[in-house]
Chains A and B, each alone.
Chain A
Amino acid sequence: MARMKFLCDAERCTECNSCVTACKNENEVPWGINRRRVVTINDGMPGERSISVACMHCSDAPCMAVCPVDCFYQTDDGVVLHDKDLCIGCGYCFYACPFGAPQFPSTGVFGSKGKMDKCTFCNGGPEEDHSHAEEQKYGSNRIAEGKLPICAEMCSSKALLAGDGDEVANIFRERGTYRGSGAGAWGWGTAYNKKSI
């Protein structure tokens, strides 16, 4: 059985934010909800690196463990999904999540945060596949169509990889051995006008 994973190649990501845009468009994500975001370390300085962050669909997900109404479940592909009909909007998943993935539509007084929304790995929710209710609540269900998440499919530099963990790991390993890293990276000599390998 495939175990779905995201992997963002920090050496390739150019902070173009097209994964964010693609996600918003595909899933009709409302204002103020960031199912995916790109964070840049050392912005404008030497060693700048960007990483696209979303729900990482943990094997032992803290959100699943902490939810007081037990609204999370994990599919056979290892995708962590949740049931918005059960969610009471307490925000515990946001406090427990390492990646800041859970998002809440409103931050009014009296702790009313609304139903939680997060990356679904483009896998919809508990409703019937491609039903109107599923689309309204969770966005598209590309996995049911045999496609991978739109963010990774759209990535122009192929920094963001999504899919079966083994295949993602193989692609990344091949890449890593081919290009090297740091000053040993492929093309580094050309960039800094020094003798390359």
Chain B
Amino acid sequence: MNSFARIFILFVSLFGYSYAAEKTVDAPAYTQNLKHLYTSEDISIKAPIEAGYSGVPGSKLWRNVRSGKSYSTQAIGDDVGVFINAYGEDWRLLKNQIEGVNLILIPLALITVMLIYLIFGKFKLNKGFSGKLVERFKFIEMVIHWGTAISFIILGLTGLVLLFGRFFLIPLLGKEAFATLAEFSMDMHDIVGPIFSVFLIAMIVKFIKDNFYQKGDINWFLSGGGLFGKHVDAWRFNLGEKIWFWIVFFVGLFITFSGYIMLFTGIVSGQREVIELMNIIHIASATLMILGMFGHIYMGVALEGSMSAMTTGKVDENWAKDHHSLWHKNIKE
């Protein structure tokens, strides 16, 4: 179609619209007789018109209904004065999207980590085990670590049951059995959540001093963190571990903050939007934490000699020399 034809059609349709508009502007017959009332100066007549309930019937009324504001009512309860919960559907759709991303990311990360382990296996120590042990973590540090880890795994599993159980477990278990499991999961989630937060804060306090930037950390980063065979000098924690610490720090605080808000706010007037937001933050940050956890567990399992640091608190001297040379030099002195 050439441009001339387009312009011609545009003109024709514009003419058509203006013609149609002129025709349909006629109000119904009964309003014709009342036209003089609309223009009256009498306040008693103008009042309902100015209140917006004349002319187009109810347009202002239904806008107010949709606004999400609270109006007067005789009912006693939470948010009873609000006609329409304006953000409920937005929350649900956003939650669905995040769940969809979760459903791809979590299995993908799990499969990737397992594949890497299957392909590359364990990363051996350069000179094998020396037999000499060095203390890496104190008992209290191990208690804090495992407290956080176990409570997080319980929270992660129960959370995933509540998020995805409807799609995966109901077909397996049936609705009744799943409802029991879901109720148990919800209660566990509510009880273990605060325990997790205590361990989390203890861990942050205990480990923060070794997780600030130290001289030489940038070299660790620039040489790829020893990914390419060669070990890089590192302090007690290398930059990768430090990054994981700060992820746990920020994401963990997001999780616990949003969790506490949801736990203790319940249903309170005007808090629906807050809880909807907190729910989104909670799910999104928990996903990040789960993904990080996979990587963290992989490191503990795949690097030979790593696991004993958290099971007995002691590591082999050769492991310390390989992975944390600067720290090893430091404690030797």
Q: Enumerate chain A interface residues (CB-CB to B < 8 A).
A: 10, 15, 17, 20, 32-34, 37-43, 45-47, 49, 51, 53, 62, 65-71, 83, 85-88, 90-91, 94-100, 103-104, 107-111, 113, 180-184, 188-189, 192, 194-195, 197
Inter-chain contact B37/A20, CB cutoff 8 Å: no
Inter-chain contact A37/B71, CB cutoff 8 Å: no
Partner of A197, one of B34, B42, B179: B34
What are 13 A-B interface contacts by the 8 Å CB criterion? A39-B81, A39-B83, A69-B166, A69-B170, A69-B179, A85-B176, A87-B179, A90-B186, A96-B92, A98-B89, A109-B266, A111-B266, A182-B49
Partner of A184, one of B31, B76, B83: B31
Is the CB of B19 closer than 8 A to any CB of chain A? no
Inter-chain contact A110/B190, CB cutoff 8 Å: yes
* Residue numbers in B under 8 Å from A97 (CB-CB): 85, 88
Partner of A43, one of B38, B71, B82, B163: B71
The chain B residue sitting closest to A90, CB to CB, is: B186
Q: Number of A-B pairs whose CB atoms are under 8 Å?
A: 179
A49–B34 Cα distance when bound, in Å, is 23
* Residue numbers in A under 8 Å from B44 (CB-CB): 192
A98–B79 Cα distance when bound, in Å, is 12
* Residue numbers in B under 8 Å from A107 (CB-CB): 78, 266-268
A2–B61 Cα distance when bound, in Å, is 29
A49, A51, A67, A113: most-surrounded residue (chain B CB, <10 A): A49
SS class of chain A's interface: helix, strand, loop or mixed? loop
Inter-chain contact B186/A47, CB cutoff 8 Å: no
A67–B95 Cα distance when bound, in Å, is 12
Inter-chain contact B45/A182, CB cutoff 8 Å: no
SS class of chain B's interface: helix, strand, loop or mixed? helix
* Residue numbers in A under 8 Å from B88 (CB-CB): 62, 95-98
The chain A residue sitting closest to B57, CB to CB, is: A181
Instruction: Convert B39-81 into 0s and 1s, putting 1 for each residue whose CB lies closer than 8 angstroms to a CB of A.
Output: 0101011011111111101101100110000011111111111
A71–B180 Cα distance when bound, in Å, is 12
A170–B187 Cα distance when bound, in Å, is 49
A110–B264 Cα distance when bound, in Å, is 6
Inter-chain contact B92/A47, CB cutoff 8 Å: no
Inter-chain contact B65/A111, CB cutoff 8 Å: no
Partner of A39, one of B49, B52, B80: B80
Is the CB of B124 closer than 8 A to any CB of chain A? no
With known contacts A68-B182, A110-B190, A40–B72 Cβ distance under 8 A: yes
A95–B282 Cα distance when bound, in Å, is 15
Is the CB of B231 closer than 8 A to any CB of chain A? no
Inter-chain contact B28/A184, CB cutoff 8 Å: yes
A90–B187 Cα distance when bound, in Å, is 10
* Residue numbers in A under 8 Å from B264 (CB-CB): 109
